[in-house]
Chains A and B, each alone.
Chain A
Amino acid sequence: MHIDLKTVKIDPLRQTFANVADRIGSDKPASRYQEATLGLQPDANFHYRPTWDPAHELFDPARTAIGMKDWYAFKDPRQFYYANWTMTRARQQDAMESNFDFVESRGLAASLPEDLKSTALHLLLPLRHVAWGANMNNFSICAYGYGTAITAPSSFHAMDQLGIAQYLTRLGLLLAGPESLDIAKQAWLKLPEWQGLRSYIEDSFVLKDWFMLFTVQNFVLDGLLYPLVYDRIVDDHLAMRNGSAVAMLTAFMTEWYEETAKWVDAQIKTAAAESTANRDLLSEWTRTWRERAVSSLVPVVTGALGEQAQVASDEVLGQFNSRAAKLGLSV
């Protein structure tokens, strides 16, 4: 049955703000994502040069070698703005809380085979520092990037990485207690197998081109690390050996990577499609840092995969290369 409530109908004078209408047309209402994003950043008449970077304006497209006619060509396929980002994460957090409760209440941590637990801890706990590095890099992208369309999701991405660093920390506390975190930090700082990755990250901290940083961190490093660690090792290798408890405690990372890779891909694809110059730069950055990333990751995953490490990373690399090619890069 249809019921028809009578309401006052008044015609709007306009559909949305000019900074939004300029990009979507003035004849239709804007979505929440569009009103929260399009043209939000100031782009004219900055009063003073930053004392910390006098060569640039406060927001300045010249902080990257990538060039765009319209910086709002970058779109987020998830259409995230603060509200739906935080509500999405709150739902995922609820699920993660149940996973942690489940593992704890059923004593699953204690029943994990000792060698398997040790493998998981040695691999995963130093990665909390890697996630923390990703947090810093994504705040660089947010702070020095150009246009809300890419800078706002970068701040969400950065906070997500802090969340990941904290889930890994909780995993350590649950499976082995606080000392395990200290041991992992020492490994991160001292053990040879971690030094390639640590130098990769520390070198990324000093990159000044924010789009290069986006490529180095979000596309190349995470594009190799997440499939290798969470798909190949946690969800596959460990789970087959009675280590599903570990997969439960890292379920967020698997789901998150799948979601955020779509956003990362959209940014790379858009920048590459803009010009040959962009495509060449992105391809070059990808090639250079990809070699470093792979050679840093192999020693890290060898503890878990043994001599299968090289094969697994070759496979992941192959998948990464076809992903890059699909986005228009020549790698």
Chain B
Amino acid sequence: MDMEASKKKLGLKERYNHLTRGLGWETTYQPMEKVFPYTRYEGIKIHDWDKWEDPFRLTMDAYWKYQGEKEKKLYAIIDAFAQNNGHLGVSDARYINTLKLFIQGVSPLEYMAHRGFAHVGRQFDGVSARIACQMQSVDELRHAQTQMHTVSNYNKYYNGMHSWRHWHDRVWYLSVPKSFFDDAMSAGPFEFVVAISFAFEYVLTNLLFVPFMSGAAYNGDMATVTFGFSAQSDESRHMTLGLEIIKFILEQDPGNVPIVQRWLDKWFWRGYKVLTLVSMMMDYMLPKKVMSWKEAWEIYGEQNGGALFNDLARYGIRKPKGWEQASIEKDHLSHQAWSTFYNYGAAALFHTWTPTDGEKDWLSAKYPDTFDKLYRPRFEHWEQQAKEGKRFYNGTLPMLCTTCQIPMFFTEPTDPTKICYRESDYKGDKYHFCSDHCKDIFDYEPEKYVQSWLPVHQIYQGNCFNPGVDPTVPGFDPLRAVLDYYHTNFGRDNFDFEGSEDQKNFARWHGDDAGGA
């Protein structure tokens, strides 16, 4: 070997290639189709995995160094926050309910992303694609674990967080995020990355992660905002990966384009529906508002997303089908969602309330076309009822959309006074949907969606009571029995914020006598 020649400095790219794709080989004792058995059945054709461009050339030594540094800083702040009772520094105890929504609905998805990326990080035929997914897999575990550690301190002092794990797998509104991720993970590896890396991480992260973290910053929650900043560089890596994945798949074969387009139609809509929960968080749950859902959708959806799909037009990709409808709904989404949770406040595991007068005025200003006309009167009516000691709790159960699993409260795109109902027949059964797009998703893959574990159906079928409970005894209270099955601390986790234990404790610990009831 000519030592002098080989001593020449390797280019960064060449060096990186040796450290990554050089590690793989074509197997011969077992056929490649058996070693990587899942990458052929979805119809996506990859001719040359070497065309994969590594979006970030990160080797393990650098990964450990950067990530270790970030963790050291993050945990120093989490420790200080706990030691100084940082939770008493938040704007208003109502804020803490956004953290409940976060740990019940979002943190479990971080964990699922960890396992999902482990799966594709094992299964993709290309070495570089695998390594990128593997790094995302452990990043996502990081997010799930640091969120546990951040929220842990709140859980010690406030209700509505203690049984997040049990709830995520059972509670009616949490089947919305759960079914979203189960849907992606039960799909093939290519659909998974288009759904999660592209549609979710790239197109929608600014509408999910950012509102929660900015909300934390505006409302004095140092621990959560520090976590947010710390995760930011991971998230930007994940977004870059999302864009690389979509371009790679589209460039590999023209036959991939219609498949990807169908996935984008589906996953945009699935993701957007999950964001319903975020919209009400932004408009109703944050005591200090960052921006309205409508503004967020206009900036991150219409402007940024619009530009992205213009870029992708050269591949033959158009905007997802539900895009226009999302823009029509931006004036209604959060109001309809929060009204529904206010209704079902006895069965929700966070507190609900009617907006204050100042908040109502903010909503009027942000939603001049709809709030005063359609939604303010509802809240004023409920407020009046509550003042008379008749706080309204809906004791029935809502019908759920078979696809997105959200209660069917959305109105017709053309008529905000009429609930939108769609249905399909499949093998002798009728299935119900909240929208044309949810119906389309079902109709394309009915054999998948008939499997949905719909919480309300399950309750009516008697599958959501504790063992030994007898629904035939006189005076049986089904709602109470379901909440027991949920492991709810009845009267502490649920009901209105006004008069709640959280409200009283926060006021007392804060030394604020004007607070509690």
With known contacts A47-B183, A58-B186, A169–B24 Cβ distance under 8 A: no
A227 at the interface (CB under 8 A from B): no
What 0/1 pattern do residues 48 to 85 of A give for CB contact below 8 A with B?
11111000001100000000000000000000011100
State which of B65-73, B215-223, B385-393 sits at the interface with chain A.
B65-73
Whole-angstrom distance between the Cβ of A181 and the nearest chain B Cβ: 6
A178 touches B35 (CB 8 A): no
B142 touches A82 (CB 8 A): yes
- How far is B152's CA from A19's CA once the two chains are assembled, in angstroms? 12
Q: Which residues of B contact A135 (CB under 8 A)?
A: 134
State which residues 461-490 of B face A: CB under 8 Å: 487
B452 at the interface (CB under 8 A from A): yes
- How far is B158's CA from A153's CA once the two chains are assembled, in angstroms? 31
Q: Which residues of B contact A59 (CB under 8 A)?
A: 115
Whole-angstrom distance between the Cβ of A158 and the nearest chain B Cβ: 7
- How far is B33's CA from A205's CA once the two chains are assembled, in angstroms? 11
B30 touches A203 (CB 8 A): yes
B452 touches A170 (CB 8 A): no
B131 at the interface (CB under 8 A from A): yes
B29 touches A203 (CB 8 A): yes
- How far is B133's CA from A143's CA once the two chains are assembled, in angstroms? 12
A97 at the interface (CB under 8 A from B): yes
Q: Which residues of B contact A162 (CB under 8 A)?
A: 60, 131, 134
B65 touches A166 (CB 8 A): no
B51 at the interface (CB under 8 A from A): no
Whole-angstrom distance between the Cβ of B172 and the nearest chain A Cβ: 12
How many chain A residues sit at the interface, stated as a range, is 35 or more
B321 at the interface (CB under 8 A from A): no
Whole-angstrom distance between the Cβ of A18 and the nearest chain B Cβ: 4
A51 touches B156 (CB 8 A): no
Q: Which residues of B contact A82 (CB under 8 A)?
A: 71, 138, 141-142, 145-146
B1 touches A81 (CB 8 A): no
With known contacts A17-B155, A176-B6, A86–B67 Cβ distance under 8 A: yes
What 0/1 pattern do residues 136 to 172 of B give for CB contact below 8 A with A?
0110011011101100100111110111111011100
Interface centre among B122, B130, B131, B452 (most CB of A within 10 A): B122
Whole-angstrom distance between the Cβ of B38 and the nearest chain A Cβ: 4
A250 at the interface (CB under 8 A from B): no
State which residues 155-201 of B face A: CB under 8 Å: 155-159, 161-166, 168-170, 175, 178-179, 182-183, 185-189
What 0/1 pattern do residues 84 to 99 of A give for CB contact below 8 A with B?
0011011101101100
Whole-angstrom distance between the Cβ of A120 and the nearest chain B Cβ: 14
Q: Which residues of B contact A163 (CB under 8 A)?
A: 60-61, 64
Quick one: which of B19, B145, B452 contacts A48, CB cutoff 8 A? B452
- How far is B155's CA from A16's CA once the two chains are assembled, in angstroms? 7
What 0/1 pattern do residues 22 to 37 of A give for CB contact below 8 A with B?
0000000010100110
State which residues 207-242 of A face B: CB under 8 Å: none
B310 at the interface (CB under 8 A from A): no
- How far is B372's CA from A59's CA once the two chains are assembled, in angstroms? 48
B27 at the interface (CB under 8 A from A): yes
Whole-angstrom distance between the Cβ of B6 and the nearest chain A Cβ: 2
Q: Which residues of A contact B144 (CB under 8 A)?
A: 40
B85 touches A97 (CB 8 A): no
B14 touches A132 (CB 8 A): no
State which of A6-14, A258-266, A269-277, A300-308 sits at the interface with chain B.
A6-14
Whole-angstrom distance between the Cβ of B70 and the nearest chain A Cβ: 9
- How far is B137's CA from A142's CA once the two chains are assembled, in angstroms? 10
B367 at the interface (CB under 8 A from A): no
Among residues of A, the one whose C-beta sits closest to the C-beta of B502 is A13
With known contacts A19-B166, A96-B61, A36–B115 Cβ distance under 8 A: no
Whole-angstrom distance between the Cβ of B289 and the nearest chain A Cβ: 29
B149 touches A158 (CB 8 A): no
Among residues of B, the one whose C-beta sits closest to the C-beta of A165 is B23
State which of B106-114, B242-250, B259-267 sits at the interface with chain A.
B106-114
A198 at the interface (CB under 8 A from B): yes
B18 at the interface (CB under 8 A from A): yes
- How far is B170's CA from A30's CA once the two chains are assembled, in angstroms? 25
B148 touches A42 (CB 8 A): no
With known contacts A13-B156, A89-B68, A48–B186 Cβ distance under 8 A: yes
What 0/1 pattern do residues 66 to 92 of B give for CB contact below 8 A with A?
011101101100000001110010000
- How far is B112's CA from A59's CA once the two chains are assembled, in angstroms? 10
Whole-angstrom distance between the Cβ of B173 and the nearest chain A Cβ: 14
B23 touches A143 (CB 8 A): no
B7 at the interface (CB under 8 A from A): yes
A3 at the interface (CB under 8 A from B): no
A105 at the interface (CB under 8 A from B): no
- How far is B19's CA from A263's CA once the two chains are assembled, in angstroms? 27
- How far is B10's CA from A135's CA once the two chains are assembled, in angstroms? 26
B3 at the interface (CB under 8 A from A): yes
- How far is B112's CA from A50's CA once the two chains are assembled, in angstroms? 14
State which residues 1-46 of B face A: CB under 8 Å: 1, 3, 5-7, 10, 14-15, 18-19, 22-25, 27-30, 34-35, 37-38, 41
A58 touches B35 (CB 8 A): no
Q: Which residues of A contact B7 (CB under 8 A)?
A: 177
B162 touches A47 (CB 8 A): no
Whole-angstrom distance between the Cβ of B17 and the nearest chain A Cβ: 10
Kindly list the 5 A-B residue pairs having the minimum CB-CB distance in the complex, ordered from nearest.
A177-B6, A90-B68, A163-B60, A12-B156, A36-B145
**Chain A residues proximal to chain B, CB less than 8 Å:** 7-8, 10, 12-19, 30, 32, 35-36, 39-52, 58-59, 81-83, 86-87, 89-91, 93-94, 96-97, 110, 128-129, 131-132, 135-136, 139-140, 142-144, 148, 151-152, 155-156, 158-160, 162-163, 165-166, 169-170, 173, 176-181, 185, 188-189, 198-199, 202-203, 205-206
Q: A139-B134, A162-B131, A205-B34 known; 10 other A-B pairs, CB under 8 Å? A: A17-B155, A52-B38, A81-B145, A86-B68, A87-B68, A89-B68, A129-B25, A156-B138, A179-B6, A202-B28
Q: Could you list 15 examples of A-B contacts with CB < 8 Å?
A: A13-B505, A17-B152, A17-B163, A32-B149, A41-B115, A42-B178, A48-B186, A51-B186, A58-B185, A83-B75, A93-B60, A93-B61, A142-B137, A143-B118, A206-B35
